[in-house]
Structure 1
Amino acid sequence: MAPRRTTAKPPKDPAPTAPVVCSPCDGSGMVAATVRVGRKRRPVGQQDGLCLNCLGSGLAPDA
């Protein structure tokens, strides 16, 4: 008689996980960059820029 299997089989389809959002841009793909002007480089405002961590996709690159 054949020996009995003692290990459990892994599930065929693991449950789909939600995509992980990028932490610097919170999933929007845009980050605020401070605009500096003048000789003393004083901050005058902010402008939107592309998130360099996820390159605008909004998803974490490690996921």
Structure 2
Amino acid sequence: MIAVAASKTPATATGEPAKCPTCKGSGEVSRTVHVGRKRRAVGQQTGLCLTCLGSGEATD
């Protein structure tokens, strides 16, 4: 058996940081707004992505 060393290459060769999988790189996500005692959905509101904290870049 001959041992072969694996070459290590960076995950992104272009130098760009990877996009956040939750917000797709926009930094914002939509959340449904609920009102009333029965928690009726009335629309959506844009909020900060908690995975990347609004940067749009994936964290390791």
TM-score range, shorter chain: 0.7 to 0.9
Once the 2 structures are TM-superposed, how far is the Cα of residue 16 of structure 1 from its aligned partner?
4.4
- Structure 1 residues without counterparts, runs of 5 or longer: 1-7
TM-score of the two chains, using structure 2 as the length reference: 0.73
Aligned residues: 51
- Structure 2 residues without counterparts, runs of 5 or longer: none
State the Cα RMSD in Å: 2.1
TM-score of the two chains, using structure 1 as the length reference: 0.70
Deviation digits for residues 13-60 of structure 1, max 9, x if unmatched?
x75443210011000000001100011001110000000000000000
Match of 1:18 in 2: 16
Instruction: Give the % identical residues.
Output: 64
Q: Rg bigger for which structure?
A: 1
